[in-house]
């Protein structure tokens, strides 16, 4: 048994356990351990777990796991949280470039708005349709459907049906329900890998902003406010036809607590 220090961060209520794994003491392949630490009853509890590691040519590498131990896709809120963590560790200043599952990300910590982080997301070149829903990949795969009365909508049940239907069962998909409001959108997401509704999903909020602009069809520069259960996010991007560039996810990322755990 060895004792390990962990850190807990949250971004708009999407919560993460983070380890400084520059010493590589956390075994990347230990998926059972990831699952146990993320369990809200048997472990620390979180929507996901991240490892901050050293990597050639960038400030650090972000290794992200969903609560079920699944690794390999991007997490937008997690990305903003690990940037805050890197700054708290003194690894980076107010700007950083780091490596994640979907490539290199640039991020900026706003000096005049403490805890507000702007994270560049991958360019998007394709929006597909599945019936009335929109499908796109913003580092993770997303399904987006417009609904009425989102406040009382059965996100868990309806999200789960889509995530496990014949089309998506094997790979899984994150299911976002959206309703327009005051020049922006209200979004609730059923997350694959958590297999539940979370309070926020950064790649999901990004996918919603892009899909809604694609649906409207006009090109230009956009700044889209997105309200989620855990707070507010802003998505900035340029749209030219099916091409989305300069995509930024902006929102809060905060340290919650740190602790020690043995295994
Ligand atoms: N919460 C995350 C999404 C994690 C992606 C994951 N649920 C998946 O695609 O497997 C976010 O803020 O972007």
| Beta-bridge mates of residue 135 | 128, 143
Q: Which of 201, 207, 209, 253 is catalytic?
A: 201
Give the mean model confidence (pLDDT) for residues 222-243: 98
Q: What is the pLDDT of residues 155-190, one digit of tens each?
A: 999 999 999 999 999 999 999 999 999 999 999 999
Is residue 202 lining ligand 1, measured as CB closer than 6 Å? yes
- One domain, residues 238 and 193: yes
| Domain, as residue range, for 16 | 3-121+253-262
Q: Does 191 belong to an annotated binding site? A: yes
The pLDDT value given to residue 66 = 98
- Is the domain of 169 the same as that of 238? yes
Pocket test for ligand 1, best of 78, 117, 229, 253 (most atoms within 8 A of CB): 78
Is 38 one of the annotated active-site residues of the chain? no
Residue 186, pLDDT score: 98
Alpha-carbon distance 115 to 67, whole Å? 24
Q: Are residues 35 and 54 in the same domain?
A: yes
CA of 152 to the centre of ligand 1 (A): 23
Q: CATH number of the domain that 218 lies in?
A: 3.10.310.10
Close Cβ partners of 253 (under 8 Å, ≥ 6 residues apart): 9, 10, 11, 77, 80, 81, 83, 84, 115, 117
Question: 72 pLDDT band (50/70/90 cuts)?
Answer: confident
Residue 141 CA, ligand 1 centroid: distance in Å = 9
Ligand 1 atom index nearest CA of 201 = 12
Burial of 144 (C-beta count, 10 Å sphere; 0-12/13-18/19+):
buried
Cβ atoms of residues 254 and 230 within 8 Å: no
Q: Say if ligand 1 is within 6 A of residue 192 CB.
A: yes
Q: How far is CA 71 from CA 65, 74, 178, 211, 260, in A?
A: 4, 9, 26, 25, 23
CA distance 66 to 2: 24
From 83, 103, 77, 104, select the one nearest 95 (Cα to Cα). Answer: 83
CA of 1 to the centre of ligand 1 (A): 31
Amino acid 65: pLDDT? 98
How many Å separate Cα 116 from the centre of its chain? 15
Question: What is the total count of domains within the chain?
Answer: 2
Closest CA to 210 of 134, 103, 119, 120: 134
Asked whether residue 81 falls in the same domain as residue 160, the answer is no
pLDDT digits (tens, 9 = 90+) for 7-24: 999 999 999 999 999 999
What separation in angstroms does the CA of 240 have from each of 175, 231, 237, 246? 25, 29, 10, 11
Q: Is 201 considered catalytic here? A: yes
Q: ipTM of this predicted complex?
A: 0.93
Whether residues 226 and 158 share a domain: the answer is yes
């Amino acid at each position: 048994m060895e004792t390990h220090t962990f850190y807990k961060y949250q971004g708009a209520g999407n919560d993460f356990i983070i380890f400084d794994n520059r010493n590589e003491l956390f075994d990347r392949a230990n998926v059972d351990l990831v699952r146990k630490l993320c369990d809200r009853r048997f472990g620390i509890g979180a929507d996901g777990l991240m490892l901050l590691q050293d990597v050639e040519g960038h400030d650090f590498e972000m290794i992200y796991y969903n609560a079920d131990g699944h690794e390999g896709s991007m997490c937008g809120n997690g990305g903003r949280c690990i940037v805050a963590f890197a700054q708290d560790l003194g690894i980076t200043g107010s700007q950083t470039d780091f490596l994640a599952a979907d490539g290199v990300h640039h991020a900026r910590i706003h000096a005049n708005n403490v805890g507000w982080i702007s994270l560049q997301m991958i360019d998007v070149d394709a929006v597909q349709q599945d019936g009335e829903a929109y499908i796109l990949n913003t580092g993770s795969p997303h399904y987006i459907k417009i609904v009425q009365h989102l406040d009382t909508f059965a996100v868990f049940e309806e999200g789960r049906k889509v995530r496990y239907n014949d089309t998506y069962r094997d790979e899984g998909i994150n299911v976002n329900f959206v309703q327009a409001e005051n020049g922006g959108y209200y979004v609730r997401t059923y997350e694959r890998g958590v297999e539940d509704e979370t309070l926020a999903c950064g790649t999901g909020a990004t996918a919603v902003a892009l899909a809604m602009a694609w649906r409207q069809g006009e090109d230009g520069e956009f700044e889209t406010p997105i309200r989620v259960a855990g707070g507010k996010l802003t998505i900035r991007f340029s749209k030219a036809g099916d091409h989305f560039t300069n995509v930024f996810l902006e929102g809060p990322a905060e340290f919650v607590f740190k602790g020690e755990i043995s295994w």
